[in-house]
Structure 1
Amino acid sequence: MLRALAVDDERPSLEELLYLLNADPRIGSAEGAGDATEALRRINRALESGPDGPDAIDVVFLDIQMPGLDGLDLARLLSGFARPPLVVFVTAHEDFAVQAFDLKAVDYVLKPVRRERLAEAVRRAAAQRGATPPEPAPRDPEHEPDPDHKAVELGGVTRYLAV
């Protein structure tokens, strides 16, 4: 189970992200920080407790544009640690993706965050940390995707189009 820290200066975005993270069975615990300074304090506690301690952090879900120290700066600081937590950027700005992956980001999720997209980011983080995935949920044929239709998202609206 992953231990996560979500960092976002916009309270509604942080609360939504924490809600989605806590709903994922691969996340053992998720805490929030409203800015990079608060995140650094939380990460310092994690370092003091050790990699298997009660305050350890496996992955940081990080907004990019925040007042003061921004998400990219925080990721640069984290990359200098002996065993840095994984970083997943969660942002409304697609312009920073190349910089994010240069900093070895696990994933880059655009806001508004979709549950499925965040689940993929968590899956990638779990795979990198070697966390064992939970048993898959039993399949419900009534809610299986229709193979004759594809979901297409445009402008925040999802339409199902015939193949």
Structure 2
Amino acid sequence: MDTLIQLRAASPFLQRCETPIGRVEVLSDGEAVTSVALEQRGSLPHDGLAYDSDAVADEAVAQLLDYFQGVRRRFTVPVAHHGTPFQHAVWAVLAELRWGEHTSYGAIARAVGRAGSGRAVGGAIAINPTPLIVGCHRVLSATGRVTGWSWGDGAATKARLLAHEGIPFIP
């Protein structure tokens, strides 16, 4: 319970919505989205907490719902990430990817000046605090294969998101 209390203090606003890939939870600190979580095995990280939303979390949910309806192709809600400089560099590259664009782990490693560090890039992507908004699902292996994903139902959810955006991939 201490973890929930600590997270709740850092991000006091909570909103949820139903999407084609399951429920999604958004946390906001009142100025930016600090976390997005996708339902895994029927639960969300803060299922025990009541909604306590704000304008930022409400806007994030509205933009997510528009994304799933196919009318939004770019998120404009502010995000606040906490991580290492390397993680921030990886997440910044992800944030530049637009609807229908994709890249590879190796290409991101080269973009952040760490060629050959594809595994480290994968680690940073795995802990992206705002999936969907910062589109980590748009990263494929060098051969175009869908590799593991930390959210929802894993690779199956990632494949659904790629298909939603018309991104070609190898299952």
TM-score of the two chains, using structure 2 as the length reference: 0.25
Q: TM-score, normalised by structure 1?
A: 0.26
Which is greater in Rg? 1
